[in-house]
Amino acid sequence: MDTEHNNDQFIENRTFDEIQIGDSSQLARTLRPEDIKMFAVMSGDVNPSVVDPEFAHSGIFREVVAHGMWSGALISTVLGTQFPGPGTIYIDQSLHFSRPVTLGDTITITVTAKQKFEHNKHILFDCVCTNQEGLLVVGGTAEVLAPTEKIRRPRVHMPQFTISDKEERYQALLALAKGLEAVPVAVAHPCDAESLKGPVIAAQAGLIDPILVGPEAKIRSLAAELGLDISPYRIVNTKHSHESAAMAVSLVRNGDAEALMKGSLHTDELMGEVVSRATGLRTGRRISHVFYMDVPTYPKPIMITDAAVNIAPGLEDKVSIIQNAIDLFHILGRPEPKVAILSAVETVNPKIQSTLDAAALCKMADRGQIKGGILDGPLAFDNAVSIVAAKTKGIKSVVAGQADILVVPDLESGNMVAKQLEYLANALSAGVVLGAKCPIVLTSRADTAEARTASCAIAAIMAHAYRKQTP
C-alpha cells in the first residue's frame, strides 16, 4: 500500500502494467476553517450551510460542514499525484455521501484498484473516505486512463496561502461591544458618502444613536442619493463645517451626546473645537490618538499611538500618550499590555532623541510614573513585532516580538506605519481620540464606512466605561 510522503522531493507514477488488482494508496487530511474558506473562494460555492456559522447551527447538521466535493477533491489528489499518479486522466467518477465532514475531522482516503481493462488501459478504482472514527463519509468508484510510461518529476512546491478575512475581523471587533446600549454620538458634518454611511451602519449595528450635525438639506439629499433611511436620527442644522464642529462639541458639553465623531470636515477643524480652553472638551491629560489595528499577519490586535494628533511630542507628552493607550487597553478588557517604544534602532544613542525618550519612559514606568503596562525601548519596528528579529539581535525582553502597543516617535512616522499596515497589509483599522471628556471617533476622510463603524465600536465601549467613572 502506498501512503503520502509530504517530504518527498519527487513525484512518481505507477503505470498500468505495474498496478495489480487490490493495490491501493491512502491520503489523510484534517479539515480546517481555512480549508472551507479557500474552497469557497476557489469554487464560488458560498452555500450558507458551509460558510455561515449562524445558518449552519440552525440547519440539519447543527454545525459547519465541509463542501461535499472537498472529499471528492482529495480523491482526485490521490489519483493524480500518488496512484496511479502523473499522466493519469480522469474518465468517470461516482460518489455517495454517507455523512458530513465537520471541522476538525481527519479524513482518510483509500483508493483501491478494482478492475483493469487491457484494451484501453482504463482502471476502475474503489474510493473510500472514512473519518477518524473509522466511519464511512464518502464512497464510490473512479475510472481513469492510466499512464503507460514511467514518469518521475521533481515535486512542485506550491505557495503558502494566508486567509485575510477582513469581514471576520470586522465582525469580531463589533462583537466587543455586543450587548451594550447604543451611545448617543454627535457626528460632525457627515456630508460625504462614507462619513454618512459610517454612523448609519453603526446605528444599525446597535452601537450608537447618531445625532447628525451639518447642513440639513445637504445631509437629507445625500441620504436619498445613497438610499439611506435617516428618519430615525436627529439632525441639527448648521451652515458650514466650522459651525458643525462647534455644535457637535457643544452637544457633548451639554450632555446630549456621550461621544463625538468626525465627518467629512478636516481634523484641525474638529480638534480645534475640542481643545478650546473655553468651550472644548479638555481634561488634565494630554489628548492623543490611537489606531486600533487588526493585522492578518500579526497574531493579535495592536495599537499605534500617536499618529494623528501630536505632531512632535516631547517626553512629558509621551507619558500621557502612553498612559492613554494603556487605559484604553484595560477598558477593552485586556490587562497589562506590552508597550514598545519605537525608534530606528534598539540601542540608546545620544544623537537620536527618540532613544533617549524611550530609555527615560521605561525608567519612569519602573518608578510608577506610568502605570498598568510593561514598557521596553528603544525598539526598532522589526524587534517590536517579530520574535525572530529580536532573537537574532540578542534582545531579551518580554515586550520584543510581542508588542500590544507601539509608541511612535512622532506623528509622521506613526501615520506612515498605520497607513502602510492598512493599505499594504490589509489591516482592519479603527481610530479614536483619548484624553478628552468623551471618546472621539477620528478617522481619515479616505476611510471606509466600515472603518468608521469599527471605530464606533471602540468609542461605545469607552463611553460605557466613562459612565462607570462618573461620580
Q: What is the mean pLDDT of residues 53-68?
A: 74
Distance CA 28, CA 129 (A): 9
Q: What's the pLDDT at 59?
A: 63
* CA neighbours closer than 13 Å in the CB half-sphere of residue 58: 4
Share of the chain above pLDDT 90, in %: 69
* pLDDT tens-digit series, residues 302-326: 999 999 999 999 999 999 999 999 9
pLDDT digits (tens, 9 = 90+) for 216-268: 999 999 999 999 999 999 999 999 999 999 999 999 999 999 999 999 999 88
Task: Provide the pLDDT for residue 3.
Answer: 53
Asked whether the predicted pLDDT for residue 468 surpasses 90, the reply is: no
The pLDDT of residue 157 is 84
For every residue of 227-296, DSSP letters joined together read T---TTSEEEE-SSHHHHHHHHHHHHHTTS-SEEEE-SS-HHHHHHHHT-TTTS---SSPPEEEEEEE-T
User: Residue 254 contacts by C-beta under 8 Å, 6 or more apart in sequence?
Assistant: none
Q: What pLDDT sits at residue 61? A: 67
> What mean pLDDT comes out for the span 49-68?
75
Q: 37 vs 20, which has greater pLDDT?
A: 20
Predicted pLDDT of residue 6? 45
pLDDT digits (tens, 9 = 90+) for 270-305: 999 999 888 889 988 899 999 999 998 898 999 999
Q: What is the pLDDT of residue 470?
A: 55
User: What pLDDT was estimated at residue 167?
Assistant: 78
**What mean pLDDT comes out for the span 95-113?**
92
Average pLDDT of span 397-406:
94
Share the mean pLDDT of the chain.
90
pLDDT greater than 50 at residue 114? yes
Among 338, 325, 430, 418, CA closest to 384: 338
Q: What is the mean pLDDT of residues 71-99?
A: 93
Whole-number percent of the chain with pLDDT over 70 = 96
Look at strands 288-294 and 428-434 and give their pairing. Answer: antiparallel
**Is residue 5's pLDDT more than 50?**
no
What is the average pLDDT across 330-337?
A: 91
pLDDT band at 34 (very low <50, low <70, confident <90, very high): confident
Q: What is the pLDDT of residue 2?
A: 58
Strands 152-154 and 10-12: antiparallel
pLDDT digits (tens, 9 = 90+) for 349-378: 999 999 999 999 999 999 999 999 999 989
What pLDDT sits at residue 469? 76
- Check pLDDT > 90 for residue 60: no
